[in-house]
Chain A
Amino acid sequence: MSKTLSGTALEQVFDLIATSIDDAGVENERAFLATLALALAQKTGSVSDVADAVAAAKRAIEE
């Protein structure tokens, strides 16, 4: 990836997404997260960056 987040920025992102999941509500949570993933993918401008992130996420839920 070309850019990374500082520790403080990562904390802000953590809070923002956590509270947004709560705002979405349980019934819209999956739709919100999938939409967020797609919007972030477009921001990266890179298929290989998205593929790397998908691989990391897959690995994280395998175990």
Chain B
Amino acid sequence: MATYEGQRRSLYFDYPYYPFRRPAEMAGARPVHPVVIVGGGPVGVTAALELARFGVPAVVVEADDTVAEGSRAICFSRRTLEILDVLGVAPAVMAKALPWTHGTSYYKDKQVFRLEMPHGDQEKFYPMVNLQQCYLEKFIIDRAAEEPLIDLRWQSRVVGVAAGPDRVTLDIETPDGRYPLTADYVVAADGARSAMRNLMGLALKGQSYEGRYLIADILLKSHYPTERRAWFDPPSNPGSTILMHKQPEDIWRIDYQLKDGEDADIELQEDRIRARIADHLAFIGETAPWQLDWHSVYKAHSLCLDSYVHGRVMFAGDAAHLVPIFGVRGLNSGIADANNLGWKLAAVARGEALPSLLQSYSDERRAATLDVFDNAGKSTVFMTPPSRGYALMREAALRLSVHETFPRTLINPRQSQPFYYRDSVLNTADDPAFTGGPPPGSLPPNEKLPDGAYLSDRIGRAFSIIAFSAAMRDRLAPWLAQHSDISTLLLDGAGRDIFAAADDSLYLLRPDGHVAARWKHVAAAIAADSLDAALSRARGAL
């Protein structure tokens, strides 16, 4: 196998080399692929794995010949792990990643906030794990390479788009020349500087924040546990904000705010970066020798497309939205995009759902993005105060938090949570008889089942039904016999409390695990009609 000979080097990671191979199109073939995905990053390849689990093949074209450089996105949420678990990627991630549940925030040298994320021994995954993005990408690509339905094409750059009413043809540039690549549907997951977005004349809209952060990886042996640490106005860099995260292979990520008036040309010099990091390590008592591995500059944005669906082209991940780094919603929301789009695009590509189902991808995920803007916007204003008024108020909140409890809520980093598709057209109106449990549009907690498996192990292959008594399940047998693709789960133990369910309750879950419909007391005679109507609605027939 050829080895990677490009520019990317690291103290801990061997960049893989992905060679170009001539596709059938370059020998004159002109197949029409069901789906082409532009972008071989984590979102694009996750989308390909999602399609593959529903039996839909995909061609993935990626301009690069290896994975992205540096740690980049490093915090992955429980929901992301659940999604990757269904796709068979979670074991590799969990074998490498560092789980965590806590965080500490400091004002100058005093602790002002302790972040505690709920976690019990009944959870399948930790609320958050740290892993360099290069590892995550490699694990996802390794899994996709085993999947016969996925055709990964490296060193293949999109340089033209002809999007018609019936299909889309891309002009692909390779080391051996160009070729046309035609598909019924295209997923544009080609990142923040999306070529697809530019070629289609689409622009991200929203706001950009002024504050800039220098982000750096260092190799340092330290016994400090894995948790999120944040320092506001630390003695090691007065006026700045510093974040620090432990990653696998003794790599530590340090993000620090560049202050107003600091000369970027000076601050980006490696000697300057080393001096800044050395000052901070001395302040926190780290005395071991260390090396700088990688650095970059980050600026917060809240930008997105007006719609994530443009004809037969669907945008996902950073190609569709750029969100602030604070609260770890960038790649986590991109993975959620792939998870939301996968089952819908598969159903449409297989002719099992109307194309209108794809509009719900845009509506649901755009609502999620706007929620991220709201939450991450508040975090960003606290992390990088945009004006004198905000800087003064932040100082007041931090000073008071040393001894008072009430202002600490303002310091909370508001970590990523699964989005509740409250207003989705795919939801069947909730049954008012419920006084608790997960309503339509929401994601149920990943309950541990009596046999030791988890809810996420049993759902997510297709639509599924949860029955809460054997009698109810048995009464549905004739309907289930006509819907062989729908799986049934019986929750008749303590697990049903979380669903606020009775013996004759039913839940209908979508392939991404979100609730589509639920009934508190469903008479057997009408259950089939209710399920048919809810299923039809959740498949986009409105």
Measured CB to CB, the residues of A under 8 A from B are: 4-5, 7, 10-11, 14, 17-23, 26, 29, 56-57, 59-61, 63
Contacts and interface: CB of A to CB of B under 8 A. Distances in A.
Contacts, number: 52
Contacts of B402: 60, 63
Contacts of B409: 7, 10-11
B397 A14 contact: yes
A26 B404 contact: no
Given A4-B406, A20-B389, 15 more contacts: A5-B406, A10-B406, A14-B397, A14-B410, A17-B393, A18-B385, A21-B389, A21-B393, A29-B388, A57-B400, A60-B396, A60-B402, A60-B403, A61-B399, A63-B399
Nearest to A6: B409
- Secondary structure dominating the interface of B: helix
Contacts of B378: 11
A10 B389 CA distance: 16
Interface size class of B (residues with CB under 8 A): 20 to 34
A26 B397 contact: no
A23 to B, nearest CB: 8
Interface of B: 108, 110, 378, 385, 387-390, 392-393, 396-397, 399-400, 402-404, 406-407, 409-410
Contact of B399 (A10, A23, A26, A60): A60
A23 B392 CA distance: 13
Contacts of B397: 14
Nearest to A60: B399
B388 A22 contact: yes
Nearest to B391: A18
Contacts of B396: 60
Contacts of B392: 18, 21, 29
A59 B410 contact: no
Nearest to A25: B388
A11 B410 CA distance: 7
A63 B395 CA distance: 13
B389 to A, nearest CB: 3
Contacts of A5: 406
Contacts of B404: 56, 60
Contact of B403 (A4, A19, A56): A56
Nearest to B385: A18
B410 to A, nearest CB: 6
A19 B387 CA distance: 8
Contact of B393 (A18, A23, A59, A60): A18
A10 B403 CA distance: 17
